[in-house]
Chains A and B, each alone.
Chain A
Amino acid sequence: GAVVSQHPSRVICKSGTSVKIECRSLDFQATTMFWYRQFPKQSLMLMATSNEGSKATYEQGVEKDKFLINHASLTLSTLTVTSAHPEDSSFYICSASPTGLYGYTFGSGTRLTVV
């Protein structure tokens, strides 16, 4: 149990376009999901906490207008990178925590390349 599906696994987009990444909890409900970004040979940096039915909570230094998060249901959160630029190229990973329980399950990540 506790499977998180992330889609797409890889995406290449042109500079200035927007890209949407989906994170789904397949067999549990997640009131809260988390979005991370990871640059090569670095740790996972928390970008934001996605809350079902309410606004996301962004970490300091993360532009909320650039990284739009929507958590419309208990099983789906989306991250949209708007007006992407080459410096947004990174590995984006989502995580979900079953409501009321300890434990975090991670998606397999999305490799975003902006050209």
Chain B
Amino acid sequence: GESVGLHLPTLSVQEGDNSIINCAYSNSASDYFIWYKQESGKGPQFIIDIRSNMDKRQGQRVTVLLNKTVKHLSLQIAATQPGDSAVYFCAETQGYGNKLVFGAGTILRVKS
């Protein structure tokens, strides 16, 4: 959902460990969800998406889980690497082409 004036929490993980980033979304009518990665000074980069008729979707080293009952999304990154260090946002929308609303975001720091 909307995050007004909130500063981002930080998740620190050791290189090689798995990371789990969580997100609570706000609109129960949302039917499409996306995870983005944002590096400093750049626009968001698509990681993985999921529609509301699914509860899990896997990509390369990433998995997204959707729990519609509690309006919760999670992003799992396997074998986290230093290049994964960035800010991660979930985003939600209802129908294609409609406005995309971002969640609060999480800073991921990978320790070598």
Contact = CB atoms under 8 A, between A and B. Distances in A.
What band does the interface of chain B fall in when counting residues whose beta carbon is under 8 Å from A?
Answer: 20 to 34
A34 B99 contact: yes
Contacts, number: 68
Nearest to A43: B3
Interface string A39-71: 001111110010000000000000000000000
Size category of the A interface is 20 to 34
Interface in B79-111: 89, 91, 96-105
Interface in A79-115: 91, 93, 95, 97, 99-109, 111
A108 B103 CA distance: 19
B43 interface: yes
Contact of B5 (A42, A93, A105): A42
26 contacts: A32-B98, A34-B100, A41-B8, A42-B5, A42-B6, A43-B3, A43-B104, A44-B89, A44-B102, A45-B3, A45-B102, A46-B101, A49-B99, A93-B43, A93-B44, A95-B100, A100-B96, A101-B96, A103-B49, A104-B34, A104-B46, A104-B91, A105-B46, A106-B45, A109-B41, A109-B42
